[in-house]
Amino acid sequence: MQAHIREGWVPGIIGFTASTHARYYAREWGFGPVFEAQVASGMAAFVERYDRRRDLLLCAEIEGEIAGTITIDGSDPALPMGQAHMRWFIVSDVIRGQGVGRQLFGAALNHLTDTGFTSCYLTTFAGLDPARRLYESAGFALHKEQQGESWGTPVLEQLFILELGNR
């Protein structure tokens, strides 16, 4: 399957991202409505303040349908200067394992470098081993682990940081 990578908002991207996250994490990890609401509201707020100079919103499309997303949030006013947040990285079950996620991830990393960020962080949780291998292969390092319920379900939360001088 050949995916076309598009940048910027496309109709349905917030709904796709929230729905795909909710279904996958409910099925595989028992996450519930708190998680889906966080993804939907967080992404909606991001899209409303989207700044093409700092942020990146990518989707993979197959035959005109969204099949994956990733974002770089560099305009969040709560972030220190030079830091970005990688968020909402997911691909649909139909294309998982076919390299589309790696393609989205690579484009996001290029944006970080091209935009001049000095670091990027992402939050995840223990047990997502294929994703962790992808993050670590790009230079993200685990900086913190703690039990938590940030997503409405108890998990071992993880913070990964990429120092862009190490890339």
Q: What is the CATH number of the domain that holds 68?
A: 3.40.630.30
The pLDDT, as a whole number, for residue 156 is: 94
Domain assignment present for residue 154? The answer is no
Burial class (CB in 10 A: 0-12, 13-18, 19+), 134: middle
Domain assignment present for residue 61? The answer is yes
Residue 153 has pLDDT above 90, yes or no: no
Beta bridge partners of 91: 68
User: Could you give the number of structural domains in the chain?
Assistant: 1
Domain assignment present for residue 162? The answer is no
Segment among 2-16, 55-69, 92-106 with least mean pLDDT: 92-106
Which sign, positive or negative, has the C-alpha torsion 17, 19, 22, 28?
A: negative
Q: Which domain holds residue 28?
A: 4-118
The pLDDT, as a whole number, for residue 52 is: 93
The pLDDT, as a whole number, for residue 96 is: 84
Let me know: does 13 contact 19? Beta carbons within 8 Å: no
The pLDDT, as a whole number, for residue 1 is: 65
The pLDDT, as a whole number, for residue 167 is: 46
Domain assignment present for residue 144? The answer is no
How far apart CA 49 and CA 108 sit, in angstroms, is: 18
Query: Which residues in 41-52 are b (16+ Cβ under 10 Å) and which e?
Result: ebbeebbeebee
Provide the percentage of residues in the chain whose pLDDT is more than 90: 85
The pLDDT, as a whole number, for residue 150 is: 82
Residue 134 has pLDDT above 50, yes or no: yes
Provide the percentage of residues in the chain whose pLDDT is more than 70: 98
Q: Please give the single-letter amino acid code of residue 98.
A: Q
Q: What is the pLDDT of residues 78-128, one digit of tens each?
A: 999 999 999 999 999 888 888 899 999 999 999 999 999 999 999 999 999
Domain assignment present for residue 125? The answer is no
Domain assignment present for residue 87? The answer is yes
Domain assignment present for residue 151? The answer is no
Segment among 68-82, 121-135, 152-166 with least mean pLDDT: 152-166
**Alpha helices (H) in 2-78, listed in sequence order:** 13-29, 33-48
Question: Average per-residue pLDDT in the chain?
Answer: 93
The pLDDT, as a whole number, for residue 93 is: 87
Domain assignment present for residue 12? The answer is yes
SS3 state at 13: helix
Burial class (CB in 10 A: 0-12, 13-18, 19+), 112: buried
